[in-house]
Amino acid sequence: MVSSFTAGPPDTDDTIDEIITKCLNPESPKSFFLYAGAGSGKTHSLVKGLEGFEKYHGAKFRKTGAKIAVITYTNAACDEIIERVKGDPLFHISTIHSFCWLQIKAFHDDIRAWLRRTIPAEIVKLETQEAKGRPGTQASISRLRSIANKRELLEWLAKRREFTYNPNGDNLGKASISHTEVLKICAEFLMSKPSFQQIVINRYPFLLIDESQDTNKGLIEALFAVEEQRQGVFCLGLIGDMMQRIYGDGKADLGDDIPERWEKPVKQMNRRSPSRIVVLANDIRSEIDRQEQKVLEGKPEGHVRLFIAQANRSNKPEFEHTVRQSMADITGDKRWKNPEEVKHLMLEHMMAAVRMGFSEMFKALAASNRLTTALRSGDLPAVRLFSEYVLPLYQLEKTGANHAVMTHLRRAKSPLLDPNYLKSIKPGVNPLAPLKRAIDAVVNIIDSKSDVTFSEILQCIAEHNLFSIPQSLFPFMEKAESVVQEYEEETEEDDEEEEEKVSSLDAIRYFLKTQYRQINAYKKYVSGEAAFDTHQGVKGREFERVLVVMDDEDARGFIFSYEKMFEVKPPTKSDINKRSKGIETGIDRTRRLFYVTCTRAEKSLALVAYTQDPSKLKERVVAKGWFEDNEVLL
């Protein structure tokens, strides 16, 4: 039998906002860790704290030239907070990578010294792996290439250099710093350079970190050290929920490692979900920390159903269609019948790519570890040429929006609209004629071939000089005279994973051979407009109707396992050994993922589980008390 719940009035957590406001007092600052479970309104409390600070201390604090820094996890979260505080410049709101780069970007000599010190160690590590590995394999080829590139980079670093970084894309070339390096450098500078530490503190006496459970462990530990040394001068505010930690580089023991002198307020309410979903969430985490949330008074019961099917089922999207139809009947909510009205949450991006029809291009690019971050966020330059330039041009041209076409091309800085190019055209010649020919050529090649490839469109763009070509695509233009030299980043994977790696150049080459028609679905997916998403993509968000698809076989990973979590499969010896030592297992990670996905639902929740043993799965989840017998459908 499932658990009961406790309801609470709307003002239950109001005192939490007051506590945060008191902590943000320049005269007596106090660091805090705010526990805020799913749907508790943590962003509301964060904004209330900022508004209280502005009300009581804003006028005086502005005279110091300092700001309150607020670090969030995504650009979307940044935009939301900026909008809520009405863009007040008293608050510096940014992502973690952007914040770190802002602090270190003027210290070029120190960055260079850090690289010259760390790269030799990376080379030694790669050489050790190569000595143990098998020569001639893809992993060996990648290692040798990486060793050669790092040695060449060391030679380049012999002279003083200036460095660059793009928080929203790939960082290629010698002068570019990687996402991982930005965090490592900032953390080390905070720990080892008192002058750097003082500069940061002077700029930001208060630093608030949202989703702190997923913030890089090294950086969090460095900030803890700074706070310990600068008590009364520097205030650190952490907001988060360890049950919602979904990234591997966070500080796993963060919730247990908070100093006694800190404030530790706890938000009790779940304001998002109906009672049945809150009860399920409480049951899921009961084996971890027994942290229970209350239901907002007046909330309806809501609906939860678990649909179970065989893992080897041939047409899984068809089964998911029948699930939506069933949910419409169960809930009386006809919007379940429209897939666009239902947020589908997948374990892995490839599962969404298969269902939306862009799996070929995604698979090609995801094979390179270096490209995956920007690929998933929609910021990969090799793809943006098609998603942000070609696709909007085609759509606008087909609707006859001539003015909008010109506006788009000007924003895209088409070389055919460059003032110097237009001046070079002979008098009497229509300066826009080349532009018209280029547009027609691109539109015609897309219309004339349903299976036109990205490569064919790239050649057309290059031939007519319609858009500037990203550097990463230079090697693939038919008239290219040079190949961009790329540098492989250090990766933490073991040899087994390295066997599956391909170089960035090869990944882009394979991508260009796939069909262009995938680009529209891909763009909808990465922009968050699609019905499909993953647990990472919906961090902090909520939806009326949620369908969670759990399929270990399709996900093809080893980090998560629903079959083990549901006790359909037994834990491995490795799982048992890790658990005995207090080390996190894949089952722990899966349970947190399950919690995050279930708690996105505002009205109703459908769970689809593909399994090797449907009857056993039903038996186990009912025995655990997570579901009633009638809520599980085979």
Angle made by CA atoms 385, 534, 574, in degrees to the nearest 5: 120
Q: How far apart are CA 474 and CA 482, in angstroms?
A: 7
> Where a domain ends, among 270, 290, 315?
270
Q: Are 107 and 97 in contact (CB under 8 A)?
A: no
Partners of 94 in the β-ladder: 71
Q: Residue 489 has what pLDDT?
A: 35
Is residue 169 assigned to a domain?
no
Last residue of a domain, one of 486, 519, 552: 519
Q: How many domains does the chain have?
A: 4
Asked if residue 92 and residue 124 are part of one domain, the reply reads no
Do 407 and 507 belong to one domain? yes
What count of residues does the chain have? 634
Whether residues 66 and 128 share a domain: the answer is: no
Ranges of the chain with pLDDT below 50: 480-500
Q: Is residue 296 part of a domain?
A: no
Q: Do 86 and 131 reside in the same domain of the chain? A: no
Helical (H) or strand (E) element with 326:
helix 316-331
Asked whether residue 354 is domain-assigned, the answer is no
If asked whether residues 49 and 197 sit together in one domain, one would say yes
Q: What is the pLDDT of residue 142?
A: 67
> Which of left, alpha, beta for 103 (phi over 0: left; psi -120 to 50: alpha)?
alpha
Is 97 within a domain?
A: yes
Do both 379 and 478 map to the same domain?
yes
Give the pLDDT confidence of 524-578 residue by residue, as tens digits. 998 888 888 876 666 668 999 999 999 988 776 667 889 999 999 999 998 999 8
CATH assignment at residue 24: 3.40.50.300
The answer to whether 300 touches 544, Cβ cutoff 8 Å, is no
Q: Which of 254, 127, 105 is nearest to 181 (CA)?
A: 105
Question: Which alpha helices (DSSP H) does 24-137 contain, by range?
Answer: 42-62, 75-84, 96-104, 108-132
Strand blocks (E) in 189-263: 206-209, 235-240
- Cα(308)–Cα(324) distance, rounded to whole angstroms? 13
pLDDT at 479: 52
pLDDT at 270: 95
Q: What is residue 251's three-state secondary structure?
A: coil
Helix (H/G/I), strand (E/B), else coil: 571: coil
Q: What share of the chain is helix, strand, coil (3-state, %, to 5)?
A: 50, 10, 35
Tell me the β-bridge partners of 290.
Answer: none
In a domain, 487, yes or no: yes
Q: Tell me what pLDDT residue 76 has.
A: 79
Name the residue range of residue 328's domain: 302-347+535-633
Q: Are 153 and 119 in contact (CB under 8 A)?
A: yes
In the listed set 519, 546, 578, which residue is the last one of a domain according to the structure?
519
Same domain, 14 and 84: yes
Question: How confident is the prediction for the chain on average, in pLDDT?
Answer: 89
Q: What is the pLDDT of residue 392?
A: 96
Q: What tokens appear for 307 in the block?
A: 């649909």
Q: Is the same domain home to 236 and 92?
A: yes
Cα 429 to the chain's mean position, in Å?
49
Model pLDDT for residues 41-90, shown as the tens digit of each residue: 988 999 999 999 999 999 999 999 999 999 987 787 899 999 999 999 99
Q: How far apart are CA 129 and CA 493, in angstroms?
A: 11
CA distance 462 to 195: 49
| DSSP character at residue 387 | I
Residues 309 and 457 in one domain: no
For residues 376 and 389, membership in a common domain is answered with: yes
Query: Looking at the domain assignment, is residue 491 inside a domain?
Result: yes
Which among 102, 106, 107 has a CA at the least distance from the CA of 67?
102
Q: Are residues 414 and 488 in the same domain?
A: yes
In-domain check, residue 419: yes
Distances (CA, A) of 111 to 115, 116, 146, 185: 6, 9, 20, 7
Q: Decide if 45 is inside a domain.
A: yes
**Which pLDDT score is estimated for 487?**
31
Domain shared by 515 and 572, yes or no? no
The values of phi and psi at residue 623, to 5°, are -65, -35
